[in-house]
Structure 1
């Protein structure tokens, strides 16, 4: 780990010319004390790094210094393979490996290409943290130690023991046979089998993970895309799903369809409004989806949903009818 960090430190100085200990610590995700120790280690190894004093000072390399220490390690190569989504690299615990790998890639480019590549990169923004409506995209936080242990078990083909907290339940220990990892909209999932049955576990709900020595019982090859699609289909068609019949304004049709699990039937009323029969994950999901549409939609069935929406609207109307103070 330290050898990789020393290489990254040299590449950072080659790329930026001069950086303060604080900036280096932030880039390498270590303390400034660690950076200073690494600088001493590089100097002792003959790397010509020197300190510049003053307000705009920092550490730099002697001009013209070259290094061939640009070989990618396993995690860095893996990070590049999932670099189509930087958020995916973060979910799988490969964020720092991706940053280190990209430094090495840039350093390996011919000198004449570096400026062009850097300029092009400045004109590309991949999956920003907010959309045009300033809605923040929140990626789930998974401790690096946990996801690293899960990742090792997946790649090594060994059984995995996880302390997992299902929704609204206390955490329990489970021993599973891991198949693969999936990231969707900033959320990570472990696809596995348990006692021969398909299981899907949300990474953010794994409290502790332990790779076991015993080989996992799983096929040598797997179509992860197909496996995810099959599990998604089962999720949409099982559980405590509810069916809702609603009228919705044509301009808000897509808003309703996008939140539903499936649309079972659709027709147009005489006034131009759409009559849509759709399924939702559960009662809470159905109530939330209809509430978002406000007066642009009306739930016709079931009656409990109409009553729930009426009660919520009445409560809010009463709240705002009262004088503020």
Structure 2
């Protein structure tokens, strides 16, 4: 880990010319004390790094210094392969590896096109955190130690023991055969089998993970895209689906449609609002989806949905009143 950090420190100085200890610490996600120790280690190893004093001072390399320390390690190469979505790399615990790998890629570019490429990259924004309606896409937090252990089991083809907290259930330990990892809108999933049956686990709900020595029972090759499509279809068509009637502010239509399984009917009311008949996976899904829309949606039917939303609103109001 320290060797990779020393390489990253050298590459940062090569690419930026001069950086303060504070800036280096921020880029490397370490303390300034660690940066100073790394600078001493580089100097002792013969790397010509020097300090410039003053208000705009910092650390820099002697002009013309070249390095061959740009080889990618395994995680950095893997991060580049999933870099089509930066959030995908983050969901799989490869965010820091992607940052490190990209420094090496930039450093390996001929100097003549390095600045051109950097300038062009500033003109492109892929998969931003918010859309045009200012809705924030929140990536789920997964401890690095957990996702690293899950990755190791997937790549090594070993059985995996996970402490999993399913919705509305007490966390339980279970042993699974991992098949692959999928990320969707910043949320990571583990595709696996358990006792031969297909299972899908959200990474954010895995509290702990342990790779076992026993080989996983799984095919040698897998089409993850097809497997994900099949599981998505089963999810949409299975379970206790419910159909509800909703009055909706048209500005929030895409949000509702995006979370519903299907829109069965739609018409406009006289006041411009929409009246939609939509299907959800189950009652809990329906309550959650409409609650997110607050005053921009009104449940018209069935009655149990109106009652659930009213009870939830009353509970929130009571809590707020007590807190004041």
After TM superposition, is the score higher than 0.5? yes
Q: Distance in 1 between matches of 2:115 and 2:241?
A: 55
Q: Distance in 1 between matches of 2:315 and 2:41?
A: 66
| Cross-structure match for 2:199 | 199
Number of matched pairs = 318
Deviation sequence 1:217-252 (CA, Å, 0-9, x none): 101111101111111112122234312245668887
State how 1:214-233 maps to structure 2 within 5 Å: 214-233=214-233
Report whether the alignment pairs 1:88 with 2:88: yes
| Cross-structure match for 1:97 | 97
Q: CA deviation at 1:117?
A: 0.6
Deviation sequence 1:252-308 (CA, Å, 0-9, x none): 765543331123x33769979977543212324324545638577663x42323445
Q: CA deviation at 1:55?
A: 1.8
Q: SS in structure 2 opposite 1:188?
A: strand
Q: Distance in 2 between matches of 1:85 and 1:261?
A: 25
Q: Identify which range, 128-137 or 49-58, moves more after superposition.
A: 128-137
| Cross-structure match for 1:35 | 35
Q: SS in structure 2 opposite 1:15?
A: helix
Structure 1: unaligned runs, 5 residues or longer:
318-324
| Cross-structure match for 2:67 | 67
| Cross-structure match for 2:129 | 129
Q: Identify which range, 252-261 or 233-242, moves more after superposition.
A: 252-261
TM-score (norm 2): 0.87
| Cross-structure match for 1:18 | 18
Q: SS in structure 2 opposite 1:6?
A: helix
Deviation sequence 1:159-209 (CA, Å, 0-9, x none): 111111111222111111100001111111111111111111111111111
Q: CA deviation at 1:309?
A: 5.4
Q: Distance in 2 between matches of 1:32 and 1:177?
A: 43
Report whether the alignment pairs 1:283 with 2:283: yes
Q: CA RMSD for the aligned pairs? A: 2.9
Q: Identify which range, 81-90 or 276-285, moves more after superposition.
A: 276-285
Report whether the alignment pairs 1:118 with 2:115: no
Q: SS in structure 2 opposite 1:178?
A: strand
Structure 2: unaligned runs, 5 residues or longer:
318-323
The alpha-carbon distance between structure 1 residues 250 and 27, as it changes in their structure 2 partners (threshold 3 A), is closer
Q: Identify which range, 218-227 or 38-47, moves more after superposition.
A: 38-47
State how 1:170-319 maps to structure 2 within 5 Å: 170-246=170-246, 254-263=254-263, 265-266=264-265, 276-290=276-290, 292=293, 299=300, 301-308=301-308
Q: SS in structure 1 opposite 2:188?
A: strand
TM-score (norm 1): 0.87
Q: CA deviation at 1:43?
A: 1.0
The alpha-carbon distance between structure 1 residues 204 and 311, as it changes in their structure 2 partners (threshold 3 A), is closer
| Cross-structure match for 2:160 | 160
Q: Distance in 1 between matches of 2:160 and 2:126?
A: 33
Q: CA deviation at 1:133?
A: 3.5
Q: Distance in 1 between matches of 2:262 and 2:28?
A: 46
The alpha-carbon distance between structure 1 residues 287 and 204, as it changes in their structure 2 partners (threshold 3 A), is closer
Q: SS in structure 2 opposite 1:68?
A: coil
Q: SS in structure 2 opposite 1:117?
A: helix
